[in-house]
Structure 1
Amino acid sequence: MQLQSFVYDGVWFDGPYSKESVLATKNFQGLSDDIYVSTFPRSGTTWVQNILIGMLYGLDVLENNENFEMNKLTAYLEITLGEITGCDLANQMVRRPRLLKSHQPTNLAPQEIFSLKRKNVVVFRSPKDALLSFHEFYHKNTFIRDFASPTLGEFLDRSLAGQVLNGSWWLWAKPWLDFCRANPDTNLMIHYEDLKEDFAKEIRRLESFLNLSPMTSETIDRLQALTSVESMRERLDTEKNYKGMGVVNKGEANRWKTEFPPEYVEKFDALTRETFGDDDIVAKFI
């Protein structure tokens, strides 16, 4: 497949995607017990996927590094891998419930999330940290390296204009936030920063949302260790998974405070306030 940039329904795409795979994701027909993970890129997606793999399929799956294959455990719906799409991978999955990941905004996300009330875990992260990580990911990931911006400032300008993969963080976040609040029974909001601050508390929220039996505190500690940056990097930086693609980065919160250009802090925060107004959520994102 020829890697390309294109805009579909107002959303920017770079790399291993096509208009057909994006539309297939929007129209995806799943199973009644499917669990979606919806995130903007670089918002803790891989971390939450690994957490859910451990919670749903057992911690032994996370411990078996030699046989761990992410694409068989959770499908990234809109990606294309040669002749295979993420939707094809989803339809080949055997374990139930299936874990299905998408980075698409609400207008392109699987519409059955809305019409059929599928269970959906939506992960939010500060836009400054998410896009700082995204800039690095563009340079590390072989699929999108050709679309990388030479400097952080140029990438942040593109981000503010919505001209990065999956479009504007702000246009992604506001509709998802509104939908989660309107449909809390089927959509759980997880904040990356909250997961960093109190892992056990967020695991309890996930257990309740997914109707899972409570883990012991010792098991939660074990899950946290198995989903640490070091553990995930060892498991995922392999030939079977994402070797050399920089999928697992530094895993830090508030790194932007030391690495973000001051003039862009002002621009990001201004757009965040413009997008969310006087909503208390602003404190999570600035």
Structure 2
Amino acid sequence: MGSSFEPFTIEGIHFVGAYSRESILATKNFQSRSDDIFITTFPRSGTTWIQNILIGLVYGNEVLEDIENFEIQNLSPYMEIILNGVTGCERADTTVKSPRLLKQHLPTHLAPSEIFTGGRRNILVARNPKDVALSYFSFYQTEPFLKKHLQSPDLQHFLHKFLTGHVNYGLWWCWIKKWIQFCRANPDTNLMIHYEDLKEDFAKEIRRLESFLNLSPMTSETIDRLQALTSVESMRERLDTEKNYKGMGVVNKGEANRWKTEFPPEYVEKFDALTRETFGDDEIVAKFI
């Protein structure tokens, strides 16, 4: 990564790190292929996990096993980021694998437009916002750009920033509500996976992904192998390398419901109140409180 990136705001969304207005707009206007698969998540919602899962599902477990040659930016480009002077969009354009697995974190109004107009397949991963915030706080403490702009190492300070949308990619509640609405309105081309469901019944969610992507079903043994290869320990070994994300803390603890023991009680109330205000009597509230 370069070191000259400055914070900026585009269409109401704040960015700190290896991004530019040009890289965001290039992602929005990206010319995709008809068989592309988009991976859409708010940061720290299980993004790297679902990337690794899809790499195993679509390209084969042997790609995950080949640690020496594993390079996630070539296998699943991060569309809007700039790494070593190259945008994720540019990497995607040189990707020969098909279908491509294209990762992006952008809200609906900045996301690749062909998700909406071209009927591209899109997988949304949603996670309890309290666990998202805890993982994001950890990431802000390890990723060099974010650490520089953290301002305070205090968790409550960060949770206030999260609650007010003063983090990369904006306010989680606004972000997730709009994506959920779109996915529900377009179920043929969009699949929503809950992080917690994937933790609870991995095989069941793999079957949902296979069906959505029209893939031949894996054997139970192959699913077990995929689960082992996408464990926190396995992903750390694969990704904490020079050609991937060495030292950045991309793979965190990978736990569900960690907030129950680590979240300040007053912030549990604040997060849950905003969740209820955002979703009303929608049944999805139960996933997020």
TM-score by length of 1: 0.99
Q: Is 1:14 matched with 2:4?
A: no
Deviation at 1:268?
A: 0.5
Secondary structure (helix, strand or coil) at the match of 1:121 reads: strand
Aligned length: 286
- Tell me the equivalent position of 1:272: 275
Q: CA RMSD in A?
A: 0.8
Q: Is 1:203 matched with 2:206?
A: yes
Alignment partner for residue 53 of structure 1, among 52, 55, 71? 55
Secondary structure (helix, strand or coil) at the match of 2:102 reads: strand
Provide, for residues 159-211 of structure 1, a one-character-per-residue CA deviation record: whole Å limited to 9, x for no partner. 11111010010011000000010001100000000000000000000000000
Distance 1:68 1:83 in 2: 20
Provide, for residues 49-82 of structure 1, a one-character-per-residue CA deviation record: whole Å limited to 9, x for no partner. 0000001111100001011011110010000124
5+ residue gaps in structure 1?
none
Alignment partner for residue 284 of structure 2, among 272, 281, 285? 281
Identity %: 70
Deviation at 1:83?
A: 2.4
Q: Is 1:163 matched with 2:166?
A: yes
- Tell me the equivalent position of 1:110: 112
Distance 2:153 2:57 in 1: 40
Distance 1:89 1:120 in 2: 19
Name the amino acid aligned to 1:166.
Answer: Y
- Tell me the equivalent position of 1:79: 81
Equivalent positions of 1:127-166 (< 5 A) are 127-148=129-150, 149-166=152-169
Distance 2:7 2:272 in 1: 28
Distance 1:107 1:159 in 2: 20
Distance 1:141 1:94 in 2: 30
Provide, for residues 119-177 of structure 1, a one-character-per-residue CA deviation record: whole Å limited to 9, x for no partner. 00000000000011000101111232212232111111111111101001001100000
Secondary structure (helix, strand or coil) at the match of 2:9 reads: strand
Name the amino acid aligned to 2:135.
Answer: S
Deviation at 1:5?
A: 1.7
Provide, for residues 93-123 of structure 1, a one-character-per-residue CA deviation record: whole Å limited to 9, x for no partner. 1110000000001000001000001000000
5+ residue gaps in structure 2?
none
Distance 1:6 1:240 in 2: 27
- Tell me the equivalent position of 1:240: 243
Secondary structure (helix, strand or coil) at the match of 2:245 reads: coil
Distance 1:63 1:103 in 2: 27
Alignment partner for residue 224 of structure 1, among 221, 224, 227? 227
Q: Is 1:174 matched with 2:177?
A: yes
- Tell me the equivalent position of 1:35: 37
Equivalent positions of 1:250-261 (< 5 A) are 250-261=253-264
TM-score by length of 2: 0.98
Provide, for residues 210-251 of structure 1, a one-character-per-residue CA deviation record: whole Å limited to 9, x for no partner. 000000111100000000000000000011111110000000
Comparing 34-43 with 143-152, greater Cα deviation is found at 143-152
Q: Is 1:24 matched with 2:26?
A: yes
Distance 1:223 1:161 in 2: 38
Kindly report structure 1 stretches of 4+ aligned residues shifted beyond 4 Å: none
